[in-house]
Amino acid sequence: MRMLLDHIARFGVAADGRIFQNEAGNYIDNSAYCVTWGRAREAALTLDEHALSLAKRP
């Protein structure tokens, strides 16, 4: 919860209440989610888990 509150304090929210937005204040592309998800998987999973395609899609 603290990370979410820190994010909101740092970046604010969009005019329509969305918490996550791109630099222009618009919706985030699916491709951006995929890149970020892939990086998070690599950082969080072991090589064996990564090889199993565990949590491959958000």
Is residue 20 one of the residues assigned to a domain?
yes
CB 33 within 8 A of CB 58: yes
Is residue 28 one of the residues assigned to a domain?
yes
**What is the extent of the structural domain holding 25?**
2-51
CA–CA distance, 35 with 58 (Å, rounded to integer): 11
CA–CA distance, 15 with 13 (Å, rounded to integer): 7
Is residue 8 one of the residues assigned to a domain?
yes
Q: How many domains does the chain have?
A: 1
pTM for the whole structure: 0.59
CB 19 within 8 A of CB 8: yes
Is residue 56 one of the residues assigned to a domain?
no
Question: For every one of its 58 residues, what pLDDT tens digit does the chain have, with 9 covering 90 and above?
Answer: 999 999 999 999 998 999 988 888 888 888 888 998 999 999 999 999 988 888 888 7
**Polymer length of the chain:** 58
DSSP 31: H
